[in-house]
Amino acid sequence: MGKFVITKRSNGAFQFSLKADNGQAILSSEGYATRASCDNGIESIRKNSIDDGRFDRLTAKNGKAYFNLKAGNGQIIGTSELYESETGRDNGIESVKKNAPGASVDDQTV
């Protein structure tokens, strides 16, 4: 099962990445001012990752595929890495659906 890894940015903001079993990051968050907000972001990922309609499948200006996961209010709660193909992106989405709901939390800020 995957895990959420919480880290701190140089400006003190908290962020998390969802990593698959192989350690590869499949989704990253925005920066959060507080740890509590970061925890809420993780819970939102868990909740929204089971709904395929919450995933926006996109293409970057450089032609690489990626996705955003949105909350019910339309706010982006996570963004993927860039993928070489739409198939890679779609596999990334399936990995988030599989890993996020039961993922453990690894707090690297302590």
Q: What is the pLDDT of residues 60-72, one digit of tens each?
A: 999 999 999 999 9
Tell whether the model's pLDDT for residue 1 goes beyond 90: no
Q: CATH class for domain 3-104?
A: mainly beta
CA–CA separation, 80 vs 10, rounded Å?
21
CA–CA gap between residue 74 and residue 95 (Å, rounded) = 21
Residue 21 predicted with pLDDT over 90? no
Q: What percent of the chain has pLDDT over 90?
A: 95
What pLDDT is recorded for position 9? Answer: 95
Q: What is the pLDDT of residue 110?
A: 78
Instruction: Give yes or no for residue 79 having a pLDDT over 90.
Output: yes
Residue 43, Cβ density class (10 Å: 0-12 exposed, 13-18 middle, ≥19 buried): exposed
Q: What is the mean pLDDT of the chain?
A: 95
**Where do the structural domains in the chain lie, given as residue ranges?**
3-104
